[in-house]
Amino acid sequence: DTAVSQTPKYLVTQMGNDKSIKCEQNLGHDTMYWYKQDSKKFLKIMFSYNNKELIINETVPNRFSPKSPDKAHLNLHINSLELGDSAVYFCASSGTSGSIETQYFGPGTRLLVL
Amino acid sequence: AQSVTQPDIHITVSEGASLELRCNYSYGATPYLFWYVQSPGQGLQLLLKYFSGDTLVQGIKGFEAEFKRSQSSFNLRKPSVHWSDAAEYFCAVGLTGTASKLTFGTGTRLQVTL
C-alpha cells in the first residue's frame, strides 16, 4: 500500500549512458515532483507536474526530461549521464497546485554514475 | 526568494534528554512551514506542518514546533529523545503562487547516545 513508490531503488551505471527512474503515486494527487538530494544531503526541486502539465522547471540541464503519462505517474529520463548526476532522486506528490499542500515523498532512487 | 537556515549541522543528545532543532526562514509573506525526518537510507517523512492558526503545532512521534513570526523561526522540539529518533531532520518553507514548491534547509543530523 505504498503511497509514493519509485523504481529502481538503486541504479549504478556508466558515464554516458541513458537511464530512467519511474514514480507512481496512489494518493489521487494532482501534482508530482522530482527533487535531487546531493552528497551533502541538500534537497532541491527539479520539476513539478500538475495534471500531466509541466509547471516547475528549475534550471535543470536539458539532459533531464520528465514525462507524465498520467497524473499518477511521473518518470525521469536522464541522457548522457555525468559523474555529477550521482545523487538520490526523490519523487513526491501533493493534492493541488497553486496552494500549499503537504508533499509526500517516495523512498528515493540512489543513482551512482561511474 | 525564500530561504531556510538550519544553523546546526550535527547535534548529539543523550537518550531521554530534551531536544530542540533550530530553523530560521526568510520569506516575505506568511510562510507555510514543515519539518521532515529522513532515517538512514529512507525517504522523507512529514513530522508536522504549520499553515496558520495556533503557533504551537503537534506532530507525530511526540514532536512539536513553535512558529515565532518575530524571530522568523520554526524550531522543532521533543521533551525526551529516543534512540530511534536518530536521523536527519529537514525544515522547509512552502511557496504558493502559480506553482507550489518546497525550499529545504540543509538539514540537521541528530545522533542519540545511550
pLDDT for position B99: 54
pLDDT for position A100: 65
More confident residue, B89 or A55: B89
pLDDT for position B96: 63
**Above pLDDT 90, what percent of chain B?**
72
pLDDT for position B59: 96
Burial class of residue B29, CB neighbours in 10 A (0-12, 13-18, 19+):
exposed
pLDDT for position B42: 85
Give chain A's residues under pLDDT 50: none
pLDDT average, residue stretch B78-94: 95
Q: Residue B73: which pLDDT band, with cuts at 50, 70 and 90?
A: very high
Residue A3's closest CA among A29, A41, A35? A29
Average pLDDT, chain B: 91
Lowest mean pLDDT among A91-100, B11-20, B36-45: A91-100
Cβ within 8 Å, pair A50-B101: no
Q: Would you tell me which residues 19-78 of chain A have a C-beta closer than 8 angstroms to some C-beta of chain B?
A: 31, 33, 40-45, 48, 50, 55-56
> Which positions in chain B touch A99 (Cβ < 8 Å)?
96, 100
Distance of CA B71 to the CA centre of its chain: 15
pLDDT for position A96: 61
pLDDT for position A56: 81
Cβ within 8 Å, pair A107-B43: yes
pLDDT for position B29: 74
Burial class of residue A2, CB neighbours in 10 A (0-12, 13-18, 19+):
exposed
> Which positions in chain A touch B106 (Cβ < 8 Å)?
40-42
**Which cell goes with A24?**
507512481
Cβ within 8 Å, pair A45-B101: yes
pLDDT for position A1: 61
Distance in Å, alpha carbon of A36 to nearest chain B alpha carbon: 11
Separation in Å, CA A61 to CA A58, A69, A85: 9, 21, 10
> Which positions in chain A touch B39 (Cβ < 8 Å)?
none
| B86: pLDDT strictly greater than 80 | yes
Q: Residue B52: which pLDDT band, with cuts at 50, 70 and 90?
A: confident
